A and B are shown apart, each in its own frame.
Chain A
Amino acid sequence: MSLSIKKNGTAISLSNIKFSWGSAESDFQLKLNNFQLNRQESSILVAPSGAGKSTLLSLICGTIRPEEGTVRILDQSIENKSAAERDSFRADHLGIIFQQFNLIPYLSAIDNVLLPLHFSSNRKKKSGETQSKLVLEAERLLRALGIVPETLGRQKANTLSIGQQQRVAAARAFIGSPELIIADEPTSSLDEKSQDEFLDQLFSQKEVTGATLLMVSHNARVAKRFNKSIKLQDICTTSFTEEKML
């Protein structure tokens, strides 16, 4: 399934970015000269609060557009795409894992894993042609991430523990083999043992699909697993109001 993924080129390339929330002088501003991540690389982004992490991730995921500069994801400029095109692009090419509360509470774990396929026909095709094949694929991913699909997989998401939820979220991020996985502090609510297990599984899936991984984390302990470690304050400058400081 990794055959279709290009091995060369950049997965993320941001240059000369300027972005501000709102038009007032005092509003939060972010400037970023250059940020690059090659395909199939894994990179950890260390970001203290207020350093512009959310803004950077929103730019990469395409929910916001920079005022200046270019955002190239998987060799496509997305800053000129329409909002709907960026949504489709995200559906097709990105798998996203949040810090916590990743799942739609009223859907089963399996249905949560299958969710991205309803918004991306590309990823659906890559996962299998028929509904039963899709379910098999979701079950395979869940199993790979340590969730027994026959039991936990059928449970409502809100009945799972936080650790289990994060694994389901990872399975969802990987289904249909998107080229880029964005994980925003996915292990911060897990204990050390679970963190290691989770990262093992995350990396093994990354290897299988050949995806590029960008993970935000404060945890220096895990940094050694990644090809690259980037400090956010090294690549971008931010300004924000005193109000927001308080």
Chain B
Amino acid sequence: MIILRLAWQSILNRKSTTILTILSIAISTLLLVGVEKVRTASRASFINTISGTDLIIGARTGGVQLLLYSVFHIGDATSNITWKTVGDIKKRREVKWLVPIALGDSHKGYRVVGTSKDYFKYFKYRRNIPIQVKEGKVFNDLFDAVLGAEVAKNLNYKIGNKIVLAHGTGPVSLGKDHGDTPFRISGILAPTNTPIDKAIHVSMEAIEAIHIGWETGTFVEGNGKKTPEILRQMKLDPKAVTALYVGLKSKMSTFSLQRWINKYRQEPISAILPGVVFGQLWSMVGNVETALFIITSMVVFTAILGMVISILSSLNERRREMAILRAVGAKPIQVFALLTVEATTIATLGALIGLFCLYGGLFFIKPLIESLTGLYIEIVVPDWNEIALLFAIVFAGFLASILPAIRAYKKSLSDGLMIRG
């Protein structure tokens, strides 16, 4: 007990150096745990991009590529799936629901996603959160469009505004506008911090309609220009989709359906399990994670090294103190304990203050991070991972203090009560 009290008094006595040491450990803790938090948050927000979807089906291609274009709208599909195949898949009894995705058009750099109304019903993100319409409603008319939150915000669009979609997905329109078929904004979605925020959703039929006359890849005048009024009267059956989100009645049938799709003869298509491919994709970023972790660990190491140096350099001036303690009956092991307790206390204070500052800071900059990077960081009680990190820092402080403590132990053994030289 007395050792704890002595350690505490001694820490209080050397306020200025101790505060600096505690501060450096606090900052390093903040960095280490902060990086860990950003890492888990980005992994979570990455994996949380889609949930509740059991299989994603697209033209036969690499799983990562399929995931990238179907979920993140990065890159383009090599080819489409015909509507006949979609029908075959829909007929499978394992399938509970099926949402088609048609990509290929854009508006001012934002991707246009052709889909069905089921999209808003079945597509989930984070932990099974459905998409919510913040303003207006989902498309009813052929030329209705539903905007992601970011599109509406950045382009300053309101319900009822008219927009013109461009053929192709480049940021710059190449004069290949679907100019004669403007869309009316019917709804704006609530922010999700997923690629949905950057998408413009229209119906499959609309995608079909605006591409009449574009069958060759570019618009050919004589192929029959249609006004919106005529198009609304037409029976527009989708001919192809880029990808399908599929929900199953039972997770048990995931693999059998996947196998069936991968062996489907009429057309080269493939199915992926989003979770599995997310894992593959994330493992590519894994090295960066490890590098960040190593760097921040080094910062912690440096802070603890600083503490050891300050304890070591104070040892000489504290020889007197150790001799006094020996004189009143302290054992050398208690001198050893005094120094390790001091260091462990400093490390603990540093780690706790660092964590406190991290959470305090997060609380204030969370909205900023969210709006700047779209990274959603949950402020919850520290998880086991973070607690383990804290313990690791405290333990490292304890371990590091063993070196000066051994020196103090040896000195107090050889000095005894009389300090020579």
Binding site for B on A (CB under 8 A): 54, 57-58, 61, 63-64, 83-84, 87-88, 90-92, 96, 98, 101-107, 111, 115-116, 118-120, 156, 172, 184
Residues of A within 8 A of B324 (CB): 98, 101-104
Collect the chain B residues with CB atoms within 8 Å of residue A156's CB: 13
Interface flag for B417 (CB, 8 Å): yes
The residues of A that contact B329 with a CB separation of less than 8 Å are 87-88, 90-92, 116, 119-120
In the complex, which residues 302-359 of chain B have their Cβ closer than 8 Å to any Cβ of chain A? Answer: 320-321, 323-333
Asked if A116 and B416 sit within 8 Å, CB to CB, the answer is no
B326 contacts which chain A residues (CB < 8 A)?
A: 63, 87
Minimum CB–CB distance from A211 to chain B (whole Å) comes to 16
Would A106 and B328 count as touching, CB distance under 8 A? no
Q: Is the CB of B10 within 8 A of A96?
A: no
- CB contacts (< 8 Å) of A116 on chain B: these are 328-329
Known: A87-B330, A116-B328. A63 touches B10 (CB 8 A): no
A-B pairs, top 6 by smallest CB distance, nearest first, are A91-B329, A63-B416, A106-B13, A119-B329, A118-B2, A54-B418
B residues contacting A by CB (< 8 A) are 1-2, 6, 9-10, 12-14, 320-321, 323-333, 416-418, 420
Chain B residues lying within 8 Å of A90, measured Cβ to Cβ, are: 327, 329
- Least distance between B412 CB and chain A CB atoms (Å): 9
Cα A84 to Cα B332 in complex, Å, equals: 9
Chain A residues with Cβ below 8 Å from B321 are 104-105
Docked-complex contact B417 and A96, CB < 8 angstroms: yes
**Which chain B residues border A64 with CB–CB below 8 Å?**
416
Interface centre among A90, A102, A120 (most CB of B within 10 A): A90
Cβ of A45 to closest chain B Cβ, rounded Å? 14
CB nearest to B3 among chain A residues: A118
Question: Known contacts being A106-B10, A118-B1, is A91 close to B417, with CB within 8 Å?
Answer: no
Closest A-chain residue to B1, C-beta based? A118
Check A61 against B416 for contact (C-beta < 8 Å).
yes
Cα distance, A91 to B324, chains bound together (Å): 12
Given A104-B324, A106-B12: A83 and B331 within 8 A (CB)? yes
B330 touches A58 (CB 8 A): no
Sample of 6 more A-B contacts, CB < 8 Å, known A63-B417, A88-B329, A119-B329: A57-B417, A61-B417, A87-B330, A106-B12, A106-B14, A115-B2
User: Do B327 and A58 touch across chains, with their CB atoms under 8 A apart?
Assistant: no
Residue of A nearest to B327 (CB): A96
Interface of B is mostly: helix
The chain A residue with its CB closest to the CB of B334 is: A119
Q: How far, in Å, is B336 (CB) from chain A's closest CB?
A: 13
Cα–Cα distance between A92 and B328 once the two chains are bound (Å): 9
B234 to chain A, nearest CB (A): 90
Q: Report A199 CB to chain B, min CB distance, Å.
A: 20
**CB of A167, distance to nearest CB on chain B (Å):** 16
Q: How far is the CB of B83 from chain A (nearest CB, A)?
A: 83
Partner of B328, one of A58, A83, A105, A115: A115
Q: How far is the CB of A121 from chain B (nearest CB, A)?
A: 11
| A58-B2 in contact given A87-B330, A88-B329, A92-B329 (Cβ < 8 Å) | no
Complex contact A58–B418 (CB within 8 A): yes
- State A177–B418 Cα separation when bound (angstroms): 23
Q: CA separation between A153 and B406, bound complex, in Å?
A: 34
Question: Smallest Cβ distance from A90 to chain B, in angstroms?
Answer: 5
CA gap between A57 and B327 in the complex, in Å: 11
Q: Once bound together, how far apart are the Cα atoms of A53 and B416, in whole Å?
A: 14
A96 to B330 alpha-carbon distance, docked (Å): 13
Chain A: CB-nearest residue to B329? A91
CB distance from A13 to the nearest CB of B (A): 20
What separation, in Å, do the CA atoms of A58 and B412 have in the docked complex?
13
Query: Known contacts being A54-B420, A58-B416, A58-B417, is A104 close to B327, with CB within 8 Å?
Result: no
Chain A residue with Cβ nearest B10: A106
Chain B residues with Cβ below 8 Å from A54 are 418, 420
Cα of A88 to Cα of B332 in the assembled complex, Å: 12
A35 to chain B, nearest CB (A): 18
Q: Which of A57, A84, A102, A105 contacts B331 (CB 8 A)?
A: A84
Could you give 30 example pairs across A and B, Cβ below 8 Å? A54-B420, A58-B416, A58-B417, A58-B418, A61-B416, A63-B326, A63-B416, A63-B417, A83-B331, A84-B333, A87-B329, A87-B330, A87-B331, A87-B332, A92-B329, A96-B328, A98-B324, A102-B324, A104-B6, A104-B9, A104-B321, A104-B324, A104-B325, A105-B13, A106-B10, A106-B14, A116-B329, A118-B1, A119-B2, A156-B13
Nearest B residue to A123, CB-CB: B329
Q: Whose C-beta in chain A lies nearest to the C-beta of B416?
A: A63
**A87 CA to B336 CA in the complex, in Å?**
15
